[in-house]
Structure 1
Amino acid sequence: MDPKLASIENDAGESPKYLAARGGMFEILNQILKSTASSAHGGSDGRTALHAAVVEKHFDIVEALLRFKQQLIKETGHQGRTPLFYAASLGQHRTVKRLLELDTSIAYVLDKEGHSPIHVAASKGHSSVIREIIRHCPDSGEICDLYGQNALHMAIIGGTAHVVSIY
């Protein structure tokens, strides 16, 4: 494979790495990762290849990308959201655990609305994700958004009172 091909985006602004990650094409992604150190990996939706793999629940792709480059976990996509934010939003506690094992600082990254991963997990009632975040980052429940609201506020506002007992 010509390494230059991995950096060419299609008309929609999607790189081969992004398309392979989004489509769950493990072998193709693996070949791209082996052949090039290209940082081109975006999609037309402003997400990275890792974002796409998390959203599409391609956990083998997530692991491959994390092994390839640990800096991917800090990259933000649409609305300033990290892969941890997407995993927390979707209730993917195993992915949350894996991402936090690599770097706990990502639990404190706020999106453009001022929400952290624990905020979104609380608002959606993903108790296993909240437990995982608190296990790795015990003070993360104190993070406040732009309106001074922490995860407990978000749980109450989101009508997910069952997660209140976690605090």
Structure 2
Amino acid sequence: MLQSSTIKTVRIVEKILERLSGHHLLLYRKNSDGDTALHIAARLGLEDIVRVLIESAKGDFCLKRLTRKVNRESDSALHDAARNGHLGVVRLLIQEDRKLALLTNSAGESPLFLALERNYFDITRELLDSTEKCSLAGRRGMNALHLAVIYLHEGMS
């Protein structure tokens, strides 16, 4: 069940989007860090707000235009959700746009690499199980397989 403050916040976001009445430019607008509202909601794990933003973009027929937007570090909203351990948001984003799992940021990191690196194994499994193709890329020439081997070795020590 949603808490009262969450319900109020979701309603505020819905009202702002209603006021845009067909001019959803704010939905796609970036702040000084290159983040859209979707990036921020994904980073904070605000699943209900992510859902509202996605539905608004669908109504605008520009869902992929929103979900595939990247910030100054070339992070998508999926990168932000995976990096911060927000499984529900990861599920929502992947359900709407499976190709997000193929994107890498400016450091060469995939959402899968970021999740695995931070021991978010539930997100790692979700990305591997719910996408046909998923980037394994990581930074400095490493990839998700490298991390899996390292974690396996550390677990055996």
TM-score band, normalised by shorter chain = 0.7 to 0.9
- Deviation at 1:161? 4.0
CA apart distance, 1:32: 1.8
Partners of 2:12 and 2:39 in 1: CA distance: 17
TM-score, scaled relative to structure 2: 0.76
Q: Which residue does 1:98 correspond to in 2?
A: 92
Q: How many angstroms apart in 2 are the aligned matches of 1:83 and 1:129?
A: 14
Shift of 1:147: 4.0
Query: Using CA pairs below 8 Å that are at least 6 residues apart, which structure has the higher relative contact order?
Result: 2
**Aligned counterpart, 2:118:** 124
Determine if the alignment matches structure 1 residue 59 to structure 2 residue 59.
Answer: no
Residue identity opposite 2:142 in structure 1? Q
Matching of residue 112 in structure 1 with residue 106 in structure 2? yes
Contact kept? 2:83, 2:111, Cα under 8 Å: yes
Does the 8 Å contact 1:125/1:155 carry over to 2?
no
Gaps of 5+ in 2: 1-7, 58-62
| Counterpart residue identity of residue 47, structure 1 | D
Identity of aligned residues (%): 28
> Is there any run of 5+ residues in structure 1 with no aligned partner, and where?
1-23
Name 1:152's counterpart in structure 2. Answer: 145
* Structure-2 separation of matches of 1:105 and 1:85: 12
Letter in 2 for 1:52: I
d(CA) in 2 for partners of 1:50, 1:99? 10
CA distance in 1, matches of 2:55, 2:101: 20
The equivalent of 2:13 in structure 1 is 29
SS in 1 for 2:108: coil
Tell me which of 18, 30, 38 is aligned to 1:50.
Answer: 38
Give the secondary structure class of the aligned counterpart of 1:96: helix
TM-score, normalised with respect to structure 1: 0.72
Task: Spell out structure 1 runs of 4+ moving beyond 6 A.
Answer: none
Whether the 8 Å contact between 2:101 and 2:133 is mirrored in structure 1 is no
Decide whether aligned partners of structure 1 residues 87 and 161 sit closer, same or farther in structure 2, where only a CA change above 3 A counts: farther
Alignment partner, residue 24 of structure 2: 38
Distance in 1 of aligned mates of 2:119 and 2:139: 21
Quick check: 1:75–1:82 contact (8 Å CA) kept in 2? Answer: yes
Is 125-134 or 146-155 further displaced after alignment?
146-155
